[in-house]
A and B are shown apart, each in its own frame.
Chain A
């Protein structure tokens, strides 16, 4: 390694960093903050001495509505010195939303109240002047105490004692209580300063490396130094910049303290100048060791994170992308800081796991100083964490240098396998690669369409239910009973959500092949319906049995307690809204559009995928599982017949059965009669199935093949998001129903 070159680059970079205008602005800001912080007692004294307060002296009126004469005298007493505040007694509250009070007016109403001694209402146009309200609040509180005391025959002083905050003196003997606040403050300030510097340095590293890479000047640089030397120089220069910043901050702190002591000396109130300036010597030993440990951790961490930042930025192909890596790293640092503050404080016990975690490099920077503050850090832990931190440097450096060397001259945005392993794609021919890319992009398009459709469905459901549940009742309330209105609302929402989602898929997909429609003879049609009913009944029985065994409520409608109005119109609306419309629109979306667009990944995939979405769409376990199984059946029928006519009929019949159960009541004779008919139909259907079993041989192997490209679906963010959304909604709604 050519150390002279590394040194020259560092010199050049550090000078550029320090002479940067943002570095200057940053330092001016830090200087101001530190000066204010170190002189805050003088500043507040100065403000007090010169009577600078921020209360306004504008005219203000307080109207008092106090028929029982509870508060008027107290309020007048409290504000008697303020000439700009006028107290008025009024007899009524004439203000309302139509008649707003003026800006500079506030009305207070007092009434005695058996539950709460006295009840106050303050009326104003907007939030009133905070200072006035705060004073009024204090006055009202005192008045209330007075009334309470006189009611109960005790003195106000007794009440005050009771009202005082509970004072418990806690002695945490393990904690360095004397220096606790100072250490907390040092930790906070050091972390803040380092954090601000990290933002500055990370963005500089990322920006410079990305800039040199994008402008290709890195090629020139690489003819002069090796990638390792360049990386080391860049990272060291940023670490040195941070160290310079830290030193500057210490200087600001000392300067602030000196100014403070000069003020004290000049005002002639305090000790001599020399004593105040001898500040470093006066510091506690434990604070000094704390500061040193903190600095050690921080400097090593800055070095390590800068290495990672450099390696990450070398991988990017634009400055903006490099900026994103900076955001990522900064987020991680913030998370670590927040975690350390949340997990380690005097009120929680430090567990052995936390000791182990706190030894991990970078993490230790945030955890160990926090533990040191509360006196929980052991010497062994500090030593081990430091050793690990130092040992991790060559490891991280070598990994980062490898990544950096590969990344910095690589302008292709292709992804490499993890740890530089050869990916399958590297060995492919050009045609294969192009074909793969095409298939990938097709899969992503499909995934995006379905994902967006599902998100659209959920959003439409929320929006349409908001709108329809406002509009429909305003027109129909009073004209129709509540359950009919509910059914109408529900079916309108279904039409909007399912219909628009179907339309979206229809218009968004361009490569829809029309399925071949198969003509069935009259007998075949009946056979199909009978067999369908048999399967549905069987599935219903099985699922009901299983649900009753595991204790999941089978019938959701029952738990909602929905029943139709007992009139012809009511029943008609109920059956249309609860059986017919869902049957048509659900079949349209799931069996027509989703099934057809997903057929390109294999018929089996299309059936299972559409059934899965259909199950998730029902949003509760019992219906969802049933819908999934029925969805499989409907999917097969839709593919075999090439249309949704028969699935619509079967879906309607299934819904109708549930509706009739609600209309007639499950225990009624009519329903039981119907149940027997269904059993009879199902038995016939079952026999037909047995008869048709030989036809199963007609199923070709390719019908059961799943196109492997479907694994690319998970590469689309929208698709994954929509699936997560559906699952979350499924679980949440299920909790709600049960």
Chain B
């Protein structure tokens, strides 16, 4: 179980993430949504210890996150985080080596994943020759290659065509049924609505809405009306005008 307690990150005088709290149990999917610059990627990087939080505590199964715990994590960074001069196979060999995987195992797993996405022919293609959507698929494969028990996906659907989006959604749900815990971020509320159990909406680093997705949809009132779509709820809580009114 992942737990964040009062986690804050400051860059100079700017609070990128301001006092975020949540718990995420096994086999659950958490959607982290917010506008550009809301602090989603920063939260991910703090969980992965790429950057250190200014305040607060992050634990996994009650322990502080160490390198050995991180090896059980899978991470899909923002788009474009692949080395362009490597081929897909070389890339997976490199990242697999970082997770201490056996080269043969890497190869067989990679091929089966490529087949799943119908892109077997890209095995020996260089990353820079791939389209944006295909790179995104490779990134997803890379993050799953070592069969992590916990997955962090930063904008997994960006750059994908509608059919690929459906394929990826299917994959994510399959992973969930295998018992894996997943956090992902997105701008698209329909993806969140379909996949998530829990949701956190961030705005300027602050949590503006948090809880069980179904309950939120059921109970959140906009102009006295319940059962709104997630999209309307997001606009209601995350647009700056509403926040200003709240502050007044």
Which A residues are closer than 8 A to B by beta carbons? 2, 4-5, 8-9, 11-12, 16, 211-212, 215-217, 219-226, 409, 426, 429-430
Stretch in B95-103, B107-115, B170-178, B235-243 with 4+ CB within 8 Å of A? B95-103
B154 to chain A, nearest CB (A): 9
B146 (CB) vs chain A CBs: closest residue: A224
Residues of chain B within 8 A of A430, CB atoms compared? 13
B window 49-106: CB within 8 A of A: 49-51, 67, 70-71, 73, 75, 77-78, 80-85, 90, 93-95, 97-100
Given contacts A222-B50, A223-B49, A409-B51, contact A217 B71 (CB under 8 A): no
Contact B81 A217 (CB under 8 A): yes
Give CA–CA (A429, B51) in the complex, Å. 23
Contact A9 B84 (CB under 8 A): no
Contact B83 A223 (CB under 8 A): no
Residue B12 CB within 8 A of the other chain: yes
Residue B206 CB within 8 A of the other chain: no
In terms of DSSP, what is the predominant structure of the interface of chain B?
A: loop
A16 (CB) vs chain B CBs: closest residue: B90
Contact A221 B97 (CB under 8 A): no
B128 (CB) vs chain A CBs: closest residue: A215
Contact B67 A226 (CB under 8 A): yes
Q: Could you say which of B13, B73, B82, B90 contacts A223, with CB atoms under 8 Å apart? A: B73
In terms of DSSP, what is the predominant structure of the interface of chain A?
A: helix
Q: Could you say which of A212, A215, A409, A426 contacts B80, with CB atoms under 8 Å apart? A: A215
Contact B97 A8 (CB under 8 A): yes
Contact A224 B70 (CB under 8 A): yes
Residues of chain B within 8 A of A12, CB atoms compared? 93-94, 97
Give CA–CA (A642, B81) in the complex, Å. 61
Q: Beyond A215-B81, A219-B50: 8 further Cβ-contacts under 8 Å?
A: A5-B100, A8-B98, A11-B97, A211-B85, A215-B82, A220-B143, A223-B70, A225-B98
Residues of chain B within 8 A of A225, CB atoms compared? 67, 98
Give CA–CA (A226, B70) in the complex, Å. 11
How many A-B pairs with Cβ below 8 Å? 68
Residues of chain A within 8 A of B67, CB atoms compared? 2, 225-226
Q: Could you say which of A5, A8, A219, A426 contacts B45, with CB atoms under 8 Å apart? A: A219
B window 118-170: CB within 8 A of A: 142-143
B97 to chain A, nearest CB (A): 4
Give CA–CA (A215, B81) in the complex, Å. 5
Residue B200 CB within 8 A of the other chain: no
Q: Which of A2, A4, A220, A225 has the most CB of B within 10 A?
A: A220
Give CA–CA (A212, B78) in the complex, Å. 14
Residues of chain B within 8 A of A2, CB atoms compared? 67
Residue B48 CB within 8 A of the other chain: yes
Give CA–CA (A11, B78) in the complex, Å. 28
A425 (CB) vs chain B CBs: closest residue: B12
Residues of chain A within 8 A of B95, CB atoms compared? 220-221, 224
Cβ contacts A to B, 13 pairs, < 8 Å: A2-B67, A5-B97, A9-B97, A211-B84, A215-B80, A217-B82, A220-B77, A220-B95, A222-B48, A223-B73, A224-B70, A429-B13, A430-B13
Residues of chain B within 8 A of A223, CB atoms compared? 48-50, 70, 73, 75
Q: Could you say which of B75, B81, B100 contacts A4, with CB atoms under 8 Å apart? A: B100
B81 (CB) vs chain A CBs: closest residue: A216
A1 (CB) vs chain B CBs: closest residue: B67
Contact A220 B142 (CB under 8 A): yes
Chain B residues bordering chain A, tally (CB within 8 A): 30
Contact B80 A216 (CB under 8 A): yes
Give CA–CA (A260, B137) in the complex, Å. 57
Residues of chain A within 8 A of B100, CB atoms compared? 4-5, 8
B143 (CB) vs chain A CBs: closest residue: A220
Q: Which of A9, A16, A215, A216 has the most CB of B within 10 A?
A: A215
Contact B50 A409 (CB under 8 A): yes
Residues of chain B within 8 A of A4, CB atoms compared? 100
Residues of chain A within 8 A of B143, CB atoms compared? 220
B61 to chain A, nearest CB (A): 18
Contact A217 B83 (CB under 8 A): yes
B142 (CB) vs chain A CBs: closest residue: A220
Contact A224 B83 (CB under 8 A): no
Residues of chain A within 8 A of B98, CB atoms compared? 5, 8-9, 221, 224-225
B58 to chain A, nearest CB (A): 14
A409 to chain B, nearest CB (A): 6
Give CA–CA (A459, B223) in the complex, Å. 75
Contact B81 A219 (CB under 8 A): yes
Q: Which of B49, B51, B100 has the most CB of A within 10 A?
A: B100
B223 to chain A, nearest CB (A): 37
Residues of chain B within 8 A of A11, CB atoms compared? 97
Give CA–CA (A231, B190) in the complex, Å. 42
Residues of chain B within 8 A of A9, CB atoms compared? 97-98
Give CA–CA (A224, B74) in the complex, Å. 10
Give CA–CA (A5, B101) in the complex, Å. 10
Q: Could you say which of A16, A219, A426 contacts B77, with CB atoms under 8 Å apart? A: A219
A11 to chain B, nearest CB (A): 7
Q: Could you say which of A16, A217, A226, A426 contacts B12, with CB atoms under 8 Å apart? A: A426
A218 (CB) vs chain B CBs: closest residue: B81
Give CA–CA (A226, B75) in the complex, Å. 16
B146 to chain A, nearest CB (A): 9
B51 to chain A, nearest CB (A): 7
B75 (CB) vs chain A CBs: closest residue: A223
B57 to chain A, nearest CB (A): 19
Give CA–CA (A628, B48) in the complex, Å. 64
Residues of chain B within 8 A of A216, CB atoms compared? 77-78, 80-81
Residues of chain B within 8 A of A226, CB atoms compared? 67
A280 to chain B, nearest CB (A): 37
